[in-house]
Amino acid sequence: MSAYNASRSMTMTNSAPWMRNRNSVRHNSKLSLGPVSHIIFTTAVVLLIGLMFVSQSSKVTDYDLEVAKVNSEITELEAQRDALAVENAKITAAASDADSNSVASTMVDANSAAFVER
Amino acid sequence: MVGKRYRFVYFLLSLVFVVFGARLFYVQLVKHDEYVSAANSVRVKQYELLAKRGEIYMKSGENEVVPAVLNERTWTIFVDPSYVINRDKAQAKLTEILGDKLIVSWDDVWKDLTNMYVEVAKGVDYDTVAAVKKANIQGVGQKETSKRVYPRGEMAAQVLGFVNAEGVGSGLEGAQNDRLSGKNGLLKTVTDVNEIPLSLGDENVEIPAQDGETLVLTLDENVQRESEKALKRIYDTYEGKIKNASVVIMNPQNGQIYSMATYPSFNPEYYYKVTDGNVFRNIPADSPYEPASICKTFTYATAINEGVISPEDTYVNTGHTDVDDITIQNALGSMAHLGTITFQTALDYSLNTGTVEVVRRLSSDGTISYQARSTIYDYLTNHYSLGKNTGSGLYEADGVIISPDDAEGNAVRYSNMSFGQGMNITMIQVLAGFSSVVNGGTYYKPTIIAGTMQNGQYVPDELKGADHQAVSAETSATMRRMLQEVRSYNGGDNDPAGYIIGAKTGTGETLNEDGTYTSDKTIVGIAGFGMSSKEGSLPEYTILVRLDGETFLWGYEAADVFTQLSNYMIEYLRIAPGA
């Protein structure tokens, strides 16, 4: 622990290490782009980016259309489900009514009653 | 020379660029908002996302629920005449598919080509619209709508009500519209040429719709069905004599309404075919009336609770009694049971003189004084909560009970009120008050809503609980015994053994337009309860029947309905008999 601290302290006070890695020679490229090449290159980059944008946009739109199609199918299936639920409810209600009639038939009828004058 | 030409071309090009620049400046900056707006109006569409209206269920037994009102998707088929390429073909195909669902003549469709939207069929079902779509006819479109369907037909029609074409509801549909209707949402989005929403742009907004609540009613379909059958039976039996027949059955231990029915009825799905608007009235809640002698129950309960009479106390019945300058007689001028009789006997035979005497006993000076009238008024309005909306969840009329502080709240008025005349109250008020008299003395606010459906499951509301103490438990027990004896004189022979059935009938004359009573139009009714005769039992159901007649009716028509329903409730609720 103490050795590490000593080393770090030395680095901080000595400027030699960073000077050792400094570039001392600069190489100039012998090839250079002219103005026409610059324009072509820039245009190509812009077109590429534009193409990517259009590509992504159309992909999003494709998904939107797909979603709309699926939503439409969901709507149709829900409509069918609702229609069936209504039919089921009507049939169940009719069956329940028929059941109640059979139960009622076993019950004692209300007879005519005797009343006091009032 | 060449240099001049170059300068000229240079100048010309510069001028063109300046013009272009100026034009761009004008278009891009000065007119920016206008063009953006114009562009958005074409490509950005705004839709209202319609909230699904909540459905309505009713109970079937203790825990089961069944649908009473459902939503069904329907479609409106429309034609844009200017887009139709082959009219004959379109007309023939649509006629074939729509059949009798066509609502316009084809001449009307084609007569005005500037009209871009002509509805040719409304409310068509899924199969029909699928056939129209499959036919793929240019210039023909469909718009989704929704309609309410009633799987149980006429059942509880007046309670449920309906939603008319303008979206205005009657019955429960109107009273609970805030809960049922939900809240519409908003979709603002870029669309393609077919108006399909696209995710492009940064102005898309979607606020989802909040669907309405699906309510579960306290009405039990089995009790409701039996109630409606009982009303139809009595209506048919006395054909021409009964104008309207109504009944309410309540659980007196929590205020939940088992059934509420009125006959004649209608099918809410075809409400527009009804010719007599009176059948829309939910009489138990929205039509106040004079319950007549049923109200003697309240007068006796008041006096017993105040400790001024007991059933065995006596008074002298002379067949009539004078109040101020008015002579009050027993019903039909009866001179029976004259002499010294008990108040129990007076109630058994529904003697008006006995009830007036009960009111006099409420006053220290033996008259229908302000003190007596104030006590009666306090009990009617505060203890039994009569003459005001009960908060059941239905459309309710308030009714009227004249205060003793009012100039019309005099002794004559209050003597009449003691046997149920000179006041206007609704059936639901009467039954809730009656329940509080016999159920042990506790007033429960009546309610029609039991809970909601959430994710397909019935979630009951927390019970409202006791609202207030109307009379003491002792008074309630006394009133049960008195009403049991009254019932024994009014159809009690048909009550099964092992049960305590108590009831009070009432026959009221109705008012002419000039304010005088007529016996040509009467309202008869009966309020009663049923319970096991086992010790410690309390009433498990209360029933109130009302028959509005064109000609004079006796109370036994209503008692006949009561008997049928009382017997049914004993079996349906599986009330164990006592020894």
Enumerate the domain spans of chain B: 219-271+283-572
| Among chain B residues, CA nearest to A62 | B198
CA distance B503 to B267: 32
Contact A112 B560 (CB under 8 A): yes
Q: What is the pLDDT of residue B189?
A: 86
pLDDT digits (tens, 9 = 90+) for B230-256: 999 999 998 888 999 999 999 999 999
| Among chain B residues, CA nearest to A94 | B152
B250's CB contacts (< 8 A; 6+ apart) are B256, B257, B258, B431, B432, B435, B446, B541, B542, B543, B544
CA distance B279 to B281: 5
> Which residue among A93, A107, A108 places its CB closest to the CB of B151?
A93
Q: How many CB atoms lie within 10 A of CB B36?
A: 11
pLDDT at A112 over 60: no
| Among chain A residues, CA nearest to B150 | A90
Closest of B482, B505, B488, B576 to residue B536, by C-alpha: B576
Mean pLDDT of B186-208: 82
CA torsion B106-B112-B113-B119 (nearest 10°) is: -50
| Chain A residues whose C-beta sits inside 8 Å of any chain B C-beta | 57, 60-61, 63-65, 68, 75-76, 78-80, 82-83, 85-86, 89-90, 92-93, 96-97, 100, 104, 107-118
- Chain B, 501 to 540: residues with Cβ < 8 Å from chain A are 505, 507
Mean pLDDT of B359-382: 93
Residue B419 DSSP one-character state: T
**Which residues of chain B make contact with A104, given a CB cutoff of 8 A?**
226, 229, 568
| pTM (two decimals) | 0.81
Interface predicted TM-score (ipTM): 0.71
CA distance A88 to A97: 14
pLDDT band of residue A4 (cuts 50, 70, 90) is: very low
Contact A89 B556 (CB under 8 A): no
pLDDT at A16 over 90: no
Contact B349 A118 (CB under 8 A): yes
In angstroms, the separation between the Cα of residue A110 and the nearest Cα of chain B is 5
Give the count of Cβ contacts less than 8 A between chain A and B.
113
B496's CB contacts (< 8 A; 6+ apart) are A108, B567, B570, B577
Whether the CB-CB separation of B143 and B78 falls below 8 Å is answered with yes
pLDDT at B226 over 60: yes
- Chain B, 462 to 501: residues with Cβ < 8 Å from chain A are 489-494, 496
**Which residues of chain B make contact with A115, given a CB cutoff of 8 A?**
489-491, 554-556, 559
pLDDT band of residue B537 (cuts 50, 70, 90) is: very high
pLDDT at B280 over 80: yes
Mean pLDDT of B426-449: 96
Q: What is the pLDDT of residue B439?
A: 96
Mean pLDDT of B499-513: 84
pLDDT band of residue B357 (cuts 50, 70, 90) is: very high
**Which residues of chain A make contact with B568, given a CB cutoff of 8 A?**
104, 107
**Which residues of chain A make contact with B221, given a CB cutoff of 8 A?**
93, 96
The CATH class of B219-271+283-572 is alpha beta
pLDDT at A18 over 70: no
Whether the CB-CB separation of B51 and B179 falls below 8 Å is answered with no
Q: What is the pLDDT of residue A8?
A: 43
pLDDT at A7 over 60: no
| Among chain A residues, CA nearest to B332 | A118
Contact A76 B126 (CB under 8 A): yes
- Chain B, 414 to 443: residues with Cβ < 8 Å from chain A are none
Contact A118 B73 (CB under 8 A): no
pLDDT band of residue A13 (cuts 50, 70, 90) is: very low
CA distance B378 to B385: 9
CA distance A81 to A101: 30
Mean pLDDT of A2-26: 50
pLDDT band of residue A110 (cuts 50, 70, 90) is: very low
pLDDT digits (tens, 9 = 90+) for B147-178: 899 999 999 999 999 988 777 778 999 999 99
- Chain B, 355 to 394: residues with Cβ < 8 Å from chain A are none
Q: What is the pLDDT of residue B519?
A: 64
Structural tokens at position B286: 């929205």
pLDDT digits (tens, 9 = 90+) for B467-481: 899 999 999 999 999
In angstroms, the separation between the Cα of residue B463 and the nearest Cα of chain A is 28
pLDDT band of residue B512 (cuts 50, 70, 90) is: low
Mean pLDDT of B22-50: 87
Q: What is the pLDDT of residue A12?
A: 44
